[in-house]
Amino acid sequence: MDVIELKHPLVEHKLAILRDKKTGTKEFRELVSELATMLCYEAMKEAETYETEIETPMTKMKVNKINEDKYAFVPILRAGTGMLDGIINLVPNAKIGHVGMYRDEKTFKPNVYYFKVPKDINKREVLILDPMLATGGSGIDAIDLLKEKGVKKIKFLCIIAAPEGIKKMQEKHPDVQIYTTSIDERLNENAYIIPGLGDAGDRVFGTK
């Protein structure tokens, strides 16, 4: 399975500001959106295109386009919605689903409380959005739910990832590609990513 870690000076620069505890809610939210755009750009570089004809102000020509109806984006609530705007800007006609989960503070396992996706989700390539791949529990459960709906092609986009979470996702879903801007060092005893960036949901929505 591929784990694609984006390596680019602009990514490193924006990620450095994102990690800084002094970065405020507005800037944090904007940076999450911008990094999501970069992840989507990379994740869709092999997207299938079809040929069609357009007319420029000068002449007719054949061009290649992406069939946006073949894609769906599924953020994991609530932090994943912070990535959505940056991705919709690239593929505005893609359909959107949602997976709602919360983490049990004792077991660190996710509990699903909401799942709503397009009826024809099985005909689409799905990109799951979650800023943090920590233990891997939320991502694995989201993938399970989508596969139960018949989805065949899934990619997982996250801002930062822990080696432990990557390992678990590889073991359970080796067919799912992971795209991230950074593979961090480890998880601490509370299952937070180190060095990480804190709680992405709280920082996106300013709830702490």
Q: What is the mean pLDDT of residues 83-111?
A: 86
Active site residue 144: no
Neighbours of 82 (CB within 10 A): 26
Active site residue 78: no
| Architecture of the domain whose range is 3-48+66-205 | 3-Layer(aba) Sandwich (3.40)
Q: What radius of gyration do the chain's Cα atoms show?
A: 17
Distance of CA 134 to the CA centre of its chain: 13
Per annotation, catalytic residue among 107, 120, 175, 207: 107
Q: Which residue has the higher pLDDT, 206 or 61?
A: 61
Binned at pLDDT 50, 70 and 90, residue 1 comes out as low
Are 5 and 184 in contact by the 8 Å Cβ rule? The answer is no
Which H or E run contains 100? strand 98-103
Pairing of strands 132-133, 154-161: parallel
Among residues of the chain, what percentage have pLDDT more than 70? 99
> Where are the domains positioned within the chain?
3-48+66-205
Active site residue 103: yes
Give me the pLDDT at residue 112, please: 83
Residues 26-48 pLDDT 10s: 999 999 999 999 999 999 998 98
pTM above threshold 0.95: no
Pairing of strands 49-55, 60-66: antiparallel
Listed in sequence order, the residues at least 6 apart from 167 whose beta carbon sits closer than 8 Å to its beta carbon are: 136
Per annotation, catalytic residue among 29, 78, 85, 202: 202
Residues 12-21 pLDDT 10s: 999 999 999 9
Active site residue 107: yes
Residues 51-80 pLDDT 10s: 999 999 999 999 999 999 899 999 998 899
Distance CA 2, CA 8 (A): 18
